[in-house]
Structure 1
Protein backbone atom coordinates (compact mmCIF):
# COMPACT_ATOMS: atom_id res chain seq x y z
CA UNK A 1 0.00 0.00 0.00
CA UNK A 2 1.32 3.44 -0.91
CA UNK A 3 2.08 5.81 1.91
CA UNK A 4 -0.07 8.93 1.85
CA UNK A 5 2.02 12.10 1.86
CA UNK A 6 0.71 15.25 3.50
CA UNK A 7 1.18 18.65 1.87
CA UNK A 8 4.17 19.30 4.12
CA UNK A 9 6.01 16.08 3.24
CA UNK A 10 8.23 16.82 0.26
CA UNK A 11 11.33 14.65 0.63
CA UNK A 12 12.72 15.24 -2.87
CA UNK A 13 14.73 18.47 -2.80
CA UNK A 14 16.51 20.37 -5.57
CA UNK A 15 20.20 20.92 -4.76
CA UNK A 16 20.29 24.15 -6.78
CA UNK A 17 17.34 26.06 -5.27
CA UNK A 18 14.69 25.80 -2.54
CA UNK A 19 12.26 23.69 -4.59
CA UNK A 20 11.01 20.43 -3.05
CA UNK A 21 8.51 17.85 -4.27
CA UNK A 22 6.50 14.93 -2.97
CA UNK A 23 7.35 12.75 -5.97
CA UNK A 24 10.66 12.02 -7.66
CA UNK A 25 9.20 12.56 -11.14
CA UNK A 26 8.20 16.12 -10.21
CA UNK A 27 11.72 16.86 -9.02
CA UNK A 28 13.18 15.52 -12.26
CA UNK A 29 10.85 17.74 -14.30
CA UNK A 30 11.88 20.71 -12.17
CA UNK A 31 15.59 20.00 -12.61
CA UNK A 32 15.19 20.28 -16.35
CA UNK A 33 14.20 23.93 -15.87
CA UNK A 34 17.70 24.72 -14.66
CA UNK A 35 18.88 23.85 -18.14
CA UNK A 36 21.85 21.86 -16.90
CA UNK A 37 23.04 18.32 -17.43
CA UNK A 38 21.77 15.79 -14.91
CA UNK A 39 24.48 13.60 -13.40
CA UNK A 40 23.06 10.12 -12.75
CA UNK A 41 24.39 7.41 -10.46
CA UNK A 42 25.02 4.16 -12.36
CA UNK A 43 24.21 2.06 -9.28
CA UNK A 44 20.86 3.50 -8.21
CA UNK A 45 18.18 6.02 -9.25
CA UNK A 46 19.92 9.06 -7.72
CA UNK A 47 20.57 12.05 -9.99
CA UNK A 48 21.70 15.64 -9.48
CA UNK A 49 22.59 18.77 -11.40
CA UNK A 50 26.04 18.99 -9.80
CA UNK A 51 29.03 16.75 -10.41
CA UNK A 52 30.41 17.22 -6.89
CA UNK A 53 27.08 16.10 -5.41
CA UNK A 54 27.25 12.92 -7.46
CA UNK A 55 30.81 12.30 -6.25
CA UNK A 56 29.65 12.66 -2.65
CA UNK A 57 26.73 10.32 -3.30
CA UNK A 58 28.96 7.65 -4.88
CA UNK A 59 30.88 7.39 -1.60
CA UNK A 60 27.80 5.67 -0.17
CA UNK A 61 28.27 2.80 -2.59
CA UNK A 62 32.04 2.51 -2.11
CA UNK A 63 31.82 2.80 1.70
CA UNK A 64 34.28 5.70 1.62
CA UNK A 65 33.83 8.15 4.50
CA UNK A 66 36.20 11.08 3.95
CA UNK A 67 34.58 13.49 6.42
CA UNK A 68 35.81 12.96 9.99
CA UNK A 69 34.82 14.55 13.29
CA UNK A 70 37.86 16.01 15.03
CA UNK A 71 36.40 15.37 18.47
CA UNK A 72 35.39 11.71 18.45
CA UNK A 73 36.59 10.23 15.14
CA UNK A 74 33.11 9.75 13.67
CA UNK A 75 33.27 9.37 9.87
CA UNK A 76 30.65 9.92 7.19
CA UNK A 77 30.36 10.13 3.42
CA UNK A 78 28.58 13.50 3.39
CA UNK A 79 29.45 17.00 4.59
CA UNK A 80 25.90 17.61 5.75
CA UNK A 81 25.93 14.49 7.94
CA UNK A 82 29.15 15.65 9.59
CA UNK A 83 27.62 19.07 10.27
CA UNK A 84 24.59 17.40 11.83
CA UNK A 85 26.83 15.12 13.90
CA UNK A 86 28.84 18.08 15.25
CA UNK A 87 25.72 19.30 17.03
CA UNK A 88 26.19 16.40 19.46
CA UNK A 89 29.37 18.05 20.69
CA UNK A 90 28.05 21.59 20.63
CA UNK A 91 24.93 20.63 22.62
CA UNK A 92 22.40 22.17 20.25
CA UNK A 93 19.49 19.69 20.21
CA UNK A 94 16.65 22.12 19.45
CA UNK A 95 16.00 22.76 15.75
CA UNK A 96 13.89 25.53 14.27
CA UNK A 97 11.04 24.14 12.16
CA UNK A 98 11.33 27.03 9.67
CA UNK A 99 15.06 26.91 8.96
CA UNK A 100 18.17 24.83 9.74
CA UNK A 101 19.09 26.78 12.88
CA UNK A 102 19.91 24.80 16.06
CA UNK A 103 20.05 26.01 19.67
CA UNK A 104 21.01 24.48 22.99
CA UNK A 105 17.99 25.69 24.99
CA UNK A 106 14.27 25.61 24.24
CA UNK A 107 13.79 29.18 25.47
CA UNK A 108 16.38 30.38 22.96
CA UNK A 109 14.57 28.46 20.22
CA UNK A 110 11.31 30.24 21.11
CA UNK A 111 13.11 33.58 20.83
CA UNK A 112 14.71 32.58 17.53
CA UNK A 113 11.33 31.69 16.01
CA UNK A 114 10.15 35.28 16.51
CA UNK A 115 12.81 36.33 13.99
CA UNK A 116 10.77 34.69 11.25
CA UNK A 117 7.76 36.86 12.13
CA UNK A 118 9.77 40.08 12.00
CA UNK A 119 8.23 41.30 15.28
CA UNK A 120 10.73 43.09 17.55
CA UNK A 121 8.79 44.52 20.50
CA UNK A 122 11.77 45.59 22.63
CA UNK A 123 13.27 48.99 21.76
CA UNK A 124 16.36 50.77 23.09
CA UNK A 125 15.48 54.33 24.16
CA UNK A 126 19.05 55.47 23.55
CA UNK A 127 19.48 54.60 19.87
CA UNK A 128 16.26 53.00 18.60
CA UNK A 129 17.71 49.49 18.37
CA UNK A 130 14.93 46.86 18.37
CA UNK A 131 15.13 43.20 19.29
CA UNK A 132 13.00 40.11 19.92
CA UNK A 133 13.64 39.64 23.66
CA UNK A 134 14.22 41.54 26.88
CA UNK A 135 17.43 39.56 27.45
CA UNK A 136 18.86 40.76 24.12
CA UNK A 137 17.91 44.35 24.94
CA UNK A 138 19.59 44.12 28.35
CA UNK A 139 22.75 42.82 26.69
CA UNK A 140 22.60 45.59 24.08
CA UNK A 141 22.34 48.30 26.77
CA UNK A 142 25.90 47.51 27.84
CA UNK A 143 27.01 49.32 24.68
CA UNK A 144 25.64 52.53 26.20
CA UNK A 145 26.39 51.93 29.90
CA UNK A 146 29.91 50.60 29.41
CA UNK A 147 29.19 47.75 31.82
CA UNK A 148 31.67 44.85 31.47
CA UNK A 149 30.70 42.14 33.95
CA UNK A 150 32.82 39.35 32.48
CA UNK A 151 36.40 39.52 33.81
CA UNK A 152 39.45 37.41 33.02
CA UNK A 153 41.05 35.84 36.13
CA UNK A 154 44.49 35.86 34.50
CA UNK A 155 44.78 39.51 33.42
CA UNK A 156 42.91 42.83 33.48
CA UNK A 157 40.76 42.06 30.45
CA UNK A 158 37.01 42.52 30.91
CA UNK A 159 34.13 42.53 28.45
CA UNK A 160 30.39 42.99 28.16
CA UNK A 161 29.85 39.59 26.58
CA UNK A 162 30.47 36.06 27.87
CA UNK A 163 31.50 34.76 24.45
CA UNK A 164 34.25 37.38 24.17
CA UNK A 165 35.64 36.31 27.54
CA UNK A 166 35.66 32.65 26.49
CA UNK A 167 37.64 33.46 23.33
CA UNK A 168 40.01 35.71 25.30
CA UNK A 169 40.81 32.99 27.85
CA UNK A 170 41.68 30.63 25.01
CA UNK A 171 44.36 33.14 23.97
CA UNK A 172 46.09 32.52 27.31
CA UNK A 173 46.20 28.76 26.85
CA UNK A 174 47.08 28.84 23.15
CA UNK A 175 45.48 25.44 22.71
CA UNK A 176 43.68 24.50 19.50
CA UNK A 177 42.82 20.83 20.03
CA UNK A 178 39.66 20.67 17.93
CA UNK A 179 40.16 19.50 14.36
CA UNK A 180 37.81 20.13 11.44
CA UNK A 181 37.31 16.78 9.70
CA UNK A 182 36.69 18.43 6.34
CA UNK A 183 39.70 20.70 5.85
CA UNK A 184 42.10 19.99 8.73
CA UNK A 185 41.70 23.43 10.29
CA UNK A 186 42.53 23.43 14.02
CA UNK A 187 40.84 25.77 16.43
CA UNK A 188 39.31 26.14 19.87
CA UNK A 189 36.04 24.46 20.83
CA UNK A 190 34.14 27.76 20.86
CA UNK A 191 35.19 28.49 17.26
CA UNK A 192 34.86 25.01 15.75
CA UNK A 193 31.08 25.13 15.37
CA UNK A 194 31.31 28.60 13.84
CA UNK A 195 33.96 27.33 11.42
CA UNK A 196 31.83 24.31 10.41
CA UNK A 197 29.21 26.68 8.97
CA UNK A 198 31.63 27.33 6.12
CA UNK A 199 31.29 23.71 5.00
CA UNK A 200 27.60 23.18 5.76
CA UNK A 201 26.50 25.96 3.42
CA UNK A 202 23.73 26.84 5.87
CA UNK A 203 23.03 30.59 5.80
CA UNK A 204 20.08 31.24 8.13
CA UNK A 205 20.60 35.00 8.41
CA UNK A 206 18.86 36.70 5.47
CA UNK A 207 18.61 40.38 4.56
CA UNK A 208 15.00 41.56 4.18
CA UNK A 209 16.04 44.21 1.64
CA UNK A 210 18.00 42.13 -0.88
CA UNK A 211 19.10 38.54 -1.61
CA UNK A 212 22.11 38.62 0.72
CA UNK A 213 22.33 35.76 3.24
CA UNK A 214 25.08 34.63 5.59
CA UNK A 215 25.98 32.02 8.18
CA UNK A 216 26.78 34.62 10.83
CA UNK A 217 24.58 37.15 12.58
CA UNK A 218 27.36 39.73 12.84
CA UNK A 219 27.90 39.68 9.08
CA UNK A 220 24.20 40.35 8.51
CA UNK A 221 24.27 43.26 10.95
CA UNK A 222 27.19 44.86 9.12
CA UNK A 223 25.53 44.21 5.75
CA UNK A 224 22.30 45.92 6.82
CA UNK A 225 24.32 48.99 7.83
CA UNK A 226 25.33 49.24 4.16
CA UNK A 227 21.65 49.75 3.28
CA UNK A 228 20.92 52.27 6.03
CA UNK A 229 24.25 54.09 5.99
CA UNK A 230 23.92 54.47 9.76
CA UNK A 231 27.02 54.57 11.96
CA UNK A 232 25.62 55.54 15.34
CA UNK A 233 28.70 54.87 17.47
CA UNK A 234 31.01 57.87 17.80
CA UNK A 235 34.69 57.39 18.66
CA UNK A 236 35.57 59.72 21.53
CA UNK A 237 39.20 59.89 20.47
CA UNK A 238 39.05 60.81 16.79
CA UNK A 239 35.37 61.31 15.90
CA UNK A 240 35.12 58.32 13.58
CA UNK A 241 31.67 56.71 13.67
CA UNK A 242 31.62 52.93 13.96
CA UNK A 243 31.71 50.28 16.67
CA UNK A 244 34.54 48.16 15.24
CA UNK A 245 36.81 51.19 14.83
CA UNK A 246 37.32 51.46 18.62
CA UNK A 247 39.52 48.37 18.51
CA UNK A 248 42.24 50.54 16.98
CA UNK A 249 42.44 52.71 20.10
CA UNK A 250 42.02 49.88 22.62
CA UNK A 251 45.41 48.41 21.79
CA UNK A 252 43.94 44.92 22.04
CA UNK A 253 45.25 42.76 19.20
CA UNK A 254 43.94 39.23 19.76
CA UNK A 255 44.70 37.88 16.28
CA UNK A 256 48.29 36.61 16.23
CA UNK A 257 50.37 35.07 13.45
CA UNK A 258 51.72 31.62 14.33
CA UNK A 259 54.82 32.10 12.17
CA UNK A 260 56.05 35.54 13.30
CA UNK A 261 55.37 38.30 15.84
CA UNK A 262 52.66 40.01 13.79
CA UNK A 263 49.36 40.65 15.60
CA UNK A 264 46.28 42.69 14.75
CA UNK A 265 42.86 43.69 16.05
CA UNK A 266 41.08 42.34 12.95
CA UNK A 267 40.74 38.76 11.76
CA UNK A 268 40.66 39.85 8.13
CA UNK A 269 43.99 41.65 8.51
CA UNK A 270 45.57 38.48 9.87
CA UNK A 271 44.25 36.50 6.90
CA UNK A 272 45.80 39.01 4.47
CA UNK A 273 49.08 38.87 6.38
CA UNK A 274 49.15 35.07 6.25
CA UNK A 275 48.61 35.19 2.49
CA UNK A 276 51.85 37.15 2.07
CA UNK A 277 53.84 34.36 3.72
CA UNK A 278 52.94 31.71 1.15
Structure 2
Protein backbone atom coordinates (compact mmCIF):
# COMPACT_ATOMS: atom_id res chain seq x y z
CA UNK A 1 0.00 0.00 0.00
CA UNK A 2 1.62 3.26 -1.08
CA UNK A 3 1.58 6.57 0.79
CA UNK A 4 -1.58 7.80 -0.92
CA UNK A 5 -3.68 4.78 0.10
CA UNK A 6 -2.39 4.56 3.68
CA UNK A 7 -3.09 8.12 4.84
CA UNK A 8 -6.82 7.38 5.14
CA UNK A 9 -6.23 5.00 8.06
CA UNK A 10 -4.83 7.90 10.07
CA UNK A 11 -7.96 10.00 9.60
CA UNK A 12 -10.64 10.03 12.29
CA UNK A 13 -13.75 8.05 11.33
CA UNK A 14 -16.05 11.06 11.35
CA UNK A 15 -13.67 13.13 9.19
CA UNK A 16 -13.16 10.59 6.43
CA UNK A 17 -14.29 11.72 3.00
CA UNK A 18 -17.39 10.15 1.46
CA UNK A 19 -15.38 9.32 -1.69
CA UNK A 20 -11.98 7.64 -1.89
CA UNK A 21 -9.63 8.10 -4.87
CA UNK A 22 -8.76 4.71 -6.41
CA UNK A 23 -5.10 4.19 -7.09
CA UNK A 24 -3.17 1.47 -8.87
CA UNK A 25 -2.44 -0.35 -5.63
CA UNK A 26 -6.14 -0.73 -4.93
CA UNK A 27 -6.59 -1.97 -8.47
CA UNK A 28 -4.02 -4.71 -8.19
CA UNK A 29 -4.54 -5.78 -4.58
CA UNK A 30 -7.98 -4.79 -3.31
CA UNK A 31 -10.04 -5.67 -6.37
CA UNK A 32 -8.68 -9.19 -6.40
CA UNK A 33 -10.04 -9.68 -2.87
CA UNK A 34 -13.44 -8.21 -3.68
CA UNK A 35 -16.62 -10.25 -3.81
CA UNK A 36 -18.25 -10.38 -7.22
CA UNK A 37 -22.05 -10.56 -7.12
CA UNK A 38 -24.24 -10.06 -10.18
CA UNK A 39 -21.36 -8.52 -12.10
CA UNK A 40 -20.84 -5.97 -9.30
CA UNK A 41 -17.91 -5.79 -6.94
CA UNK A 42 -18.05 -5.22 -3.18
CA UNK A 43 -14.59 -3.94 -2.41
CA UNK A 44 -13.39 -4.05 1.21
CA UNK A 45 -11.64 -0.80 2.08
CA UNK A 46 -10.12 -1.96 5.35
CA UNK A 47 -6.76 -0.44 4.47
CA UNK A 48 -8.44 2.97 4.15
CA UNK A 49 -11.31 3.12 6.62
CA UNK A 50 -12.70 -0.31 7.41
CA UNK A 51 -15.90 0.33 5.43
CA UNK A 52 -16.89 -1.74 2.40
CA UNK A 53 -17.08 0.16 -0.88
CA UNK A 54 -19.65 -0.37 -3.59
CA UNK A 55 -17.56 -0.23 -6.74
CA UNK A 56 -20.48 -0.85 -9.09
CA UNK A 57 -19.99 -2.41 -12.51
CA UNK A 58 -16.30 -2.92 -13.14
CA UNK A 59 -14.92 -5.16 -15.91
CA UNK A 60 -12.83 -8.13 -14.88
CA UNK A 61 -10.14 -7.17 -17.36
CA UNK A 62 -8.33 -3.86 -17.58
CA UNK A 63 -8.94 -2.97 -13.96
CA UNK A 64 -5.51 -1.47 -13.37
CA UNK A 65 -5.93 0.85 -16.36
CA UNK A 66 -9.10 2.36 -14.95
CA UNK A 67 -8.31 2.53 -11.26
CA UNK A 68 -6.40 5.80 -11.54
CA UNK A 69 -9.33 7.45 -13.37
CA UNK A 70 -12.31 6.41 -11.28
CA UNK A 71 -13.50 6.84 -7.73
CA UNK A 72 -15.21 4.43 -5.40
CA UNK A 73 -18.14 5.57 -3.25
CA UNK A 74 -18.27 4.43 0.32
CA UNK A 75 -21.19 2.29 1.35
CA UNK A 76 -21.96 4.08 4.57
CA UNK A 77 -23.04 1.58 7.17
CA UNK A 78 -25.78 2.78 9.53
CA UNK A 79 -23.36 2.36 12.41
CA UNK A 80 -24.60 5.19 14.63
CA UNK A 81 -27.28 3.80 16.95
CA UNK A 82 -29.68 5.53 19.32
CA UNK A 83 -29.48 4.15 22.86
CA UNK A 84 -33.14 4.98 23.54
CA UNK A 85 -34.81 3.35 20.51
CA UNK A 86 -33.93 1.35 17.40
CA UNK A 87 -33.06 4.38 15.24
CA UNK A 88 -29.84 3.97 13.22
CA UNK A 89 -28.03 6.34 10.89
CA UNK A 90 -24.99 6.52 8.71
CA UNK A 91 -24.45 10.08 9.90
CA UNK A 92 -23.39 11.04 13.38
CA UNK A 93 -24.93 14.49 12.85
CA UNK A 94 -28.30 12.92 12.09
CA UNK A 95 -28.07 10.84 15.27
CA UNK A 96 -27.38 14.00 17.28
CA UNK A 97 -30.52 15.60 15.80
CA UNK A 98 -32.55 12.47 16.50
CA UNK A 99 -31.37 12.29 20.11
CA UNK A 100 -32.97 15.69 20.74
CA UNK A 101 -36.37 14.06 20.26
CA UNK A 102 -35.65 12.11 23.44
CA UNK A 103 -33.92 14.83 25.47
CA UNK A 104 -36.14 17.74 24.41
CA UNK A 105 -33.04 19.84 23.73
CA UNK A 106 -33.73 22.86 21.49
CA UNK A 107 -30.44 24.66 20.81
CA UNK A 108 -31.73 26.96 18.05
CA UNK A 109 -33.24 30.08 19.63
CA UNK A 110 -35.28 32.76 17.90
CA UNK A 111 -33.74 36.20 18.50
CA UNK A 112 -37.14 37.90 18.22
CA UNK A 113 -39.20 35.81 20.66
CA UNK A 114 -38.81 32.89 23.06
CA UNK A 115 -39.32 30.20 20.42
CA UNK A 116 -36.65 27.51 20.21
CA UNK A 117 -36.24 24.48 18.00
CA UNK A 118 -34.33 21.23 17.85
CA UNK A 119 -33.37 21.78 14.21
CA UNK A 120 -32.29 24.91 12.37
CA UNK A 121 -34.74 24.29 9.53
CA UNK A 122 -37.61 24.51 12.03
CA UNK A 123 -36.29 27.82 13.32
CA UNK A 124 -36.02 29.14 9.78
CA UNK A 125 -39.65 28.15 9.13
CA UNK A 126 -40.73 29.84 12.36
CA UNK A 127 -38.99 33.10 11.46
CA UNK A 128 -40.57 33.13 8.03
CA UNK A 129 -44.04 32.41 9.38
CA UNK A 130 -44.04 34.63 12.48
CA UNK A 131 -41.56 37.44 11.95
CA UNK A 132 -41.43 37.93 8.18
CA UNK A 133 -44.00 40.46 7.03
CA UNK A 134 -43.72 39.36 3.43
CA UNK A 135 -46.13 36.46 2.84
CA UNK A 136 -46.19 35.99 -0.92
CA UNK A 137 -48.07 32.66 -1.01
CA UNK A 138 -51.84 33.14 -0.87
CA UNK A 139 -54.75 30.69 -0.92
CA UNK A 140 -57.17 31.52 -3.74
CA UNK A 141 -60.07 30.01 -1.80
CA UNK A 142 -60.00 31.89 1.49
CA UNK A 143 -57.21 34.47 1.27
CA UNK A 144 -54.90 32.70 3.75
CA UNK A 145 -51.32 33.93 3.30
CA UNK A 146 -48.00 32.40 4.31
CA UNK A 147 -44.29 32.91 3.80
CA UNK A 148 -43.73 29.20 3.14
CA UNK A 149 -44.85 27.49 -0.07
CA UNK A 150 -45.00 24.06 1.61
CA UNK A 151 -47.33 25.43 4.30
CA UNK A 152 -49.68 26.69 1.60
CA UNK A 153 -49.61 23.25 -0.06
CA UNK A 154 -50.73 21.62 3.18
CA UNK A 155 -53.33 24.34 3.77
CA UNK A 156 -54.90 23.79 0.34
CA UNK A 157 -55.75 20.21 1.34
CA UNK A 158 -58.40 21.66 3.67
CA UNK A 159 -60.24 22.87 0.60
CA UNK A 160 -59.53 19.96 -1.73
CA UNK A 161 -59.94 17.19 0.84
CA UNK A 162 -56.76 15.52 -0.45
CA UNK A 163 -55.27 13.14 2.10
CA UNK A 164 -52.17 11.66 0.48
CA UNK A 165 -50.78 9.93 3.58
CA UNK A 166 -52.47 6.57 4.07
CA UNK A 167 -52.07 3.95 6.78
CA UNK A 168 -51.09 0.54 5.41
CA UNK A 169 -52.84 -1.26 8.28
CA UNK A 170 -56.28 0.38 8.21
CA UNK A 171 -58.28 2.86 6.15
CA UNK A 172 -56.96 5.95 7.95
CA UNK A 173 -55.63 8.75 5.76
CA UNK A 174 -54.51 12.30 6.49
CA UNK A 175 -53.27 15.50 4.91
CA UNK A 176 -50.21 15.64 7.16
CA UNK A 177 -47.38 13.12 7.36
CA UNK A 178 -46.92 13.92 11.06
CA UNK A 179 -50.51 12.86 11.72
CA UNK A 180 -49.89 9.54 9.99
CA UNK A 181 -46.75 8.92 12.04
CA UNK A 182 -48.72 9.54 15.24
CA UNK A 183 -51.54 7.30 14.04
CA UNK A 184 -49.22 4.39 13.28
CA UNK A 185 -48.08 4.40 16.89
CA UNK A 186 -51.59 3.13 17.77
CA UNK A 187 -50.88 -0.04 15.79
CA UNK A 188 -47.35 -0.63 17.04
CA UNK A 189 -47.78 0.56 20.61
CA UNK A 190 -44.31 2.04 20.27
CA UNK A 191 -43.44 5.05 22.43
CA UNK A 192 -39.98 6.10 21.28
CA UNK A 193 -39.96 9.58 22.82
CA UNK A 194 -38.81 9.59 26.43
CA UNK A 195 -38.36 12.35 28.99
CA UNK A 196 -34.86 12.40 30.43
CA UNK A 197 -36.13 13.87 33.69
CA UNK A 198 -38.87 11.47 34.77
CA UNK A 199 -39.01 8.64 32.23
CA UNK A 200 -42.35 9.69 30.72
CA UNK A 201 -42.77 8.04 27.32
CA UNK A 202 -45.00 8.94 24.42
CA UNK A 203 -45.57 8.08 20.79
CA UNK A 204 -45.71 11.75 19.85
CA UNK A 205 -42.75 14.08 19.58
CA UNK A 206 -44.97 17.12 20.10
CA UNK A 207 -46.37 15.68 23.34
CA UNK A 208 -42.85 15.18 24.68
CA UNK A 209 -42.01 18.81 23.89
CA UNK A 210 -45.10 19.95 25.82
CA UNK A 211 -44.31 17.57 28.69
CA UNK A 212 -40.73 18.86 29.01
CA UNK A 213 -42.15 22.32 29.72
CA UNK A 214 -43.57 20.95 32.97
CA UNK A 215 -40.00 20.50 34.14
CA UNK A 216 -38.59 23.71 32.70
CA UNK A 217 -41.57 25.93 33.55
CA UNK A 218 -41.45 27.32 30.02
CA UNK A 219 -44.68 28.97 28.84
CA UNK A 220 -43.91 30.24 25.35
CA UNK A 221 -47.45 31.24 24.38
CA UNK A 222 -48.25 34.69 25.80
CA UNK A 223 -51.38 36.80 25.68
CA UNK A 224 -50.85 40.27 24.23
CA UNK A 225 -53.75 41.69 26.27
CA UNK A 226 -52.75 40.53 29.76
CA UNK A 227 -49.99 38.63 31.56
CA UNK A 228 -51.45 35.20 30.85
CA UNK A 229 -49.07 32.62 29.36
CA UNK A 230 -49.42 28.94 28.66
CA UNK A 231 -47.57 25.76 27.81
CA UNK A 232 -49.78 24.97 24.83
CA UNK A 233 -51.00 27.18 22.01
CA UNK A 234 -54.48 25.68 22.25
CA UNK A 235 -54.72 26.96 25.84
CA UNK A 236 -53.80 30.44 24.69
CA UNK A 237 -56.36 30.28 21.89
CA UNK A 238 -59.09 29.47 24.40
CA UNK A 239 -57.91 32.24 26.71
CA UNK A 240 -57.97 34.82 23.91
CA UNK A 241 -61.69 34.22 23.46
CA UNK A 242 -62.22 35.79 26.89
CA UNK A 243 -60.92 39.05 25.50
CA UNK A 244 -62.84 38.91 22.25
CA UNK A 245 -66.06 37.51 23.68
CA UNK A 246 -66.28 35.25 20.64
CA UNK A 247 -68.14 31.95 21.02
CA UNK A 248 -67.60 30.13 17.74
CA UNK A 249 -68.83 26.68 18.82
CA UNK A 250 -72.61 26.25 18.64
CA UNK A 251 -74.94 23.37 19.44
CA UNK A 252 -77.15 22.48 16.49
CA UNK A 253 -79.86 21.17 18.80
CA UNK A 254 -80.54 24.12 21.10
CA UNK A 255 -78.35 27.00 19.96
CA UNK A 256 -76.00 26.84 22.97
CA UNK A 257 -72.74 28.64 22.17
CA UNK A 258 -69.34 28.40 23.81
CA UNK A 259 -65.78 29.55 23.30
CA UNK A 260 -64.43 26.07 23.99
CA UNK A 261 -64.80 23.09 21.68
CA UNK A 262 -64.46 20.62 24.56
CA UNK A 263 -67.31 22.38 26.40
CA UNK A 264 -69.52 21.89 23.35
CA UNK A 265 -68.58 18.20 23.25
CA UNK A 266 -69.66 17.77 26.86
CA UNK A 267 -72.82 19.79 26.27
CA UNK A 268 -73.84 17.59 23.34
CA UNK A 269 -73.96 14.59 25.68
CA UNK A 270 -77.06 16.14 27.28
CA UNK A 271 -78.82 15.61 23.99
CA UNK A 272 -77.33 12.23 23.10
CA UNK A 273 -77.40 10.76 26.63
CA UNK A 274 -73.81 9.57 26.19
CA UNK A 275 -71.95 8.88 29.43
CA UNK A 276 -68.49 7.69 28.48
CA UNK A 277 -66.93 7.85 31.96
CA UNK A 278 -67.70 4.71 33.95
CA UNK A 279 -67.04 3.59 37.49
CA UNK A 280 -65.08 0.33 37.55
CA UNK A 281 -66.61 -0.69 40.90
CA UNK A 282 -70.31 -0.26 40.09
CA UNK A 283 -72.58 0.59 37.17
CA UNK A 284 -72.37 4.36 37.61
CA UNK A 285 -71.46 6.39 34.53
CA UNK A 286 -71.26 10.10 33.77
CA UNK A 287 -70.88 12.61 30.97
CA UNK A 288 -67.93 14.28 32.74
CA UNK A 289 -64.81 12.71 34.19
CA UNK A 290 -64.98 15.04 37.20
CA UNK A 291 -68.36 13.53 38.13
CA UNK A 292 -66.88 10.04 38.20
CA UNK A 293 -63.98 11.31 40.32
CA UNK A 294 -66.45 12.69 42.86
CA UNK A 295 -68.47 9.48 42.74
CA UNK A 296 -65.37 7.38 43.50
CA UNK A 297 -65.14 9.05 46.90
CA UNK A 298 -68.11 6.91 47.97
CA UNK A 299 -66.10 3.76 47.36
CA UNK A 300 -63.07 5.18 49.13
CA UNK A 301 -65.15 6.11 52.20
CA UNK A 302 -64.14 9.75 51.77
CA UNK A 303 -66.40 12.64 52.75
CA UNK A 304 -64.21 15.37 51.29
CA UNK A 305 -65.97 15.13 47.94
CA UNK A 306 -69.70 14.56 47.86
CA UNK A 307 -71.31 12.94 44.81
CA UNK A 308 -74.16 15.12 43.56
CA UNK A 309 -75.93 12.29 41.78
TM-score band w.r.t. shorter chain = 0.3 to 0.5
After TM superposition, the score normalised by the length of structure 1 is 0.46
| TM-score normalised by structure 2 residue count | 0.43
Per residue, is there more strand in 1 or in 2?
A: 2
